[in-house]
Amino acid sequence: MNQYVLPLVDISKLASPRLEDRLSVARELDRACVEAGFLYITGAQMDESVFRRIVARAQAYFALDMDIKMKSYIGGSENHSGYVPVGEEQFAAGQCDLKEAFDVNCDYMRSEGRRPLLGPNLWPEMLGFRDDVLTYYQHVTGIGSQLFRAFALALGLAEDHFDAHLRNPPSQLRLIYYPFDASAEDRPGIGAHTDYECFTLLFATAPGLQIIDRHGRWIDVPLVEGTMIMNIGDMMEILSNGRYTATRHRVTKVKEERYSFALFHACDYDYVVAPVVRGEAPRYAPLKGGEHLFNQTAQTFAYLKRKIASGELVLNGALPLDSFGLSSGAAEPRRPFSAQQALSEQ
């Protein structure tokens, strides 16, 4: 298995008061996303102490007894937050990922405007857990807000184009633990998939991530100190009208204990995701962002699948999980809708 050298973009100048500085980063970001869909980012915005703190908290949490962790089981939450045991999430039939997770969504406390992914988080009774996790969540969503502005510039929009659509986004943080067991069966840490949101910012403690290249080959992605890994998701593929492509990725059976922290950046639940590039015929039909996110999630989590099977939950307009990005052996991204369909639905 070959290693893949991802583009690296320094985003420090996104905090500059000079528009030209911010435009220079936007151009680099655009080039990297066109070329790869996966990239490293680095910058003065990143606080190493926050990253060290979340690792220590995750190590302490996942070391707890199973019965303690199951008190915060995600199936008992209002907004799809909480503990995810091994086997709960399944991307391919008959294949269970070898991982545990704790998922955190927008901690939406107001009673009005709640949605399937908007509500109060389910927190464990562990001293310091909520504070440490929210510190990380707020730190990385702050970086994400700057990146949304960079994407607006890269796509030829007003820099503040996305600002009005980032009031209460269902952006999810996943704390994931991949245990190492040399005697365990050879099964993946997480199966092949694209991310559903606009983009993901990932921090990990050990290798294991692989992406699929344009020749259908699985390529190892090494860690680079002082960086986060960033990748394009389904919604940004649509927003960019296919200029950027959601890239399928997976985590193989790990060779050492691995913790990862993925924050999936989305726009507000009711935001209609549609191509925003001016002067191009849309190649994608619009979709409701939060609805797409929940529909895709419901196809992989056991507790939601049970609700669908019982008739308690009905999905409207759910797309297959492999509707976006490069499929194995494909040189072009999949397009779930034709351009004619996209034009007729706008």
Annotation: CATH topology of 8-345: Jelly Rolls (2.60.120)
Q: What is the pLDDT of residue 343?
A: 31
pLDDT computed for residue 212 by the predictor: 86
Q: Which residues pair with 233 in a beta bridge?
A: none
pLDDT score at 183: 63
The pLDDT assigned to 342 comes to 35
| Confidence tier at 254 by pLDDT (50, 70, 90) | confident
pLDDT at 20: 97
The partner residues of 174 in beta bridges, in order of sequence, read 103, 262
Average model confidence (pLDDT) across the chain: 89
Dihedral-angle region of residue 241 (phi above 0 means left; psi in -120 to 50 means alpha; beta otherwise): left
Q: How far apart are the first and last CA of the chain?
A: 44
What pLDDT sits at residue 182?
66
pLDDT of residue 143: 98
**For the whole model, what pTM was predicted?**
0.90
Residue 201 predicted with pLDDT over 50: yes
How many whole angstroms separate alpha carbon 235 and alpha carbon 84? 24
* Band (338; pLDDT cuts 50, 70, 90): very low
